[in-house]
Amino acid sequence: MFGSIKKSLTCAAFSLLFAGMSQPVVNAQAQPAKTKPATNVELNTYLQISAVTFCVARTSGLDFRKSMQVALAGVGNVIFSKHGGVVAGNPKPLTEQQFASNTALNVVSGALRGCPKQVPAKQKEEFNKFLEEAKKSGG
């Protein structure tokens, strides 16, 4: 999920959809002294919760960006407070940009499975373009 830096950089292109979010999605400074990296199982659970949170926010009337902020804030709090931003496959803590790019991609992916009508056409198109580029680059 978050394993490779190459994937993180590729995901940064996808994050352009979310450029202009006015508030940080997480407080990356709030890290406990001793943390354990988030395992792949934990990451999968957190990402599923984020996708559901996004779907609920959208069906409650929030726009796409606000719904994404809510979904990212929830999982971001856990990743940074419980795991210090460290995830399986990355020895260093994620930056907020790496976190937001990867997580936004995964939230949209989950939302397309769980509540596809709640993902606007523009974001669906950008997600599909990202997947095609990733396939071409072997990512």
Distance CA 43, CA 39 (A): 6
pLDDT of 25 reads 55
Please provide the average confidence, as pLDDT, over all residues in the chain. 82
Neighbouring residues of 98: CB distance < 8 A, sequence distance ≥ 6: 2, 8, 11, 12
pLDDT the model gives residue 139: 62
Between vectors from CA 120 to CA 118 and to CA 125, what angle results, nearest 5°?
130
100-115 pLDDT tens trace: 988 999 999 999 999 9
Give the pLDDT of residue 87: 94
**Which H helix or E strand runs over 124?**
helix 121-136
